[in-house]
Amino acid sequence: METFFMQTPMGQYLAQKEEDFFRRHLQYLNGQVVVQLGGIWQRPSENMIVVPRDVRMDAEMLAFETHSVDVLLMPHLLEISTADLVLQEAFRILKPEGRLILTGFNPKSLWGLSSWFDGKRLPMKSQCLALA
């Protein structure tokens, strides 16, 4: 999926839109612990930890303390991982008033008509989570 976001015009456009979205929601979070899981093609802020670019660990077994993260960004992570395990870890590491911001493709939208969901350029459609 990294290739799609870094090497195709459609992917670069989408990556920029998502980075702008994340940046808007992070602009008032000075001094808070912000972690981004996956999505290494973007970095909406220099004041965050990006896994696995900055720190090597699996999203299913994070080495952060319980209730230690203020904001957790997950761009397209649920499409390429075991969603249940990742969400359990997110719940564990987020502070009680923490925020979880995630993005992903909805196969029930126009993205679902794309032939790019072939498992090479983008994940298989069956790996995407529908909004329902």
What CATH number matches the domain at 2-127, 3.40.50.150, 3.90.1150.10, 3.20.20.70, 3.90.550.10?
Answer: 3.40.50.150
Confidence of residue 39 (pLDDT cuts 50, 70, 90): confident
Entry pTM: 0.76
**Model confidence at 52: pLDDT above 80:** no
**Model confidence at 120: pLDDT above 90:** no
Read off the pLDDT of residues 73-102 as tens digits, 9 standing for 90 and up. 888 887 777 878 888 999 999 999 998 988
- How many percent of the chain have pLDDT more than 70? 77
Query: What is the C-alpha separation between 19 and 23, in angstroms, rounded?
Result: 6
CA nearest to 45, candidates 23, 18, 24, 28 = 23
Gyration radius from the chain CA atoms: 15
Q: Across 24-108, where does the E strand assignment appear?
A: 34-37, 49-51, 69-75, 94-103
Residue-level pLDDT at 34? 86
Mean pLDDT over residues 43-49, rounded? 74
Which residues, other chains included, contact 51 with Cβ-Cβ below 8 Å and sequence gap of 6+?
35, 36, 37, 38, 57, 59, 62
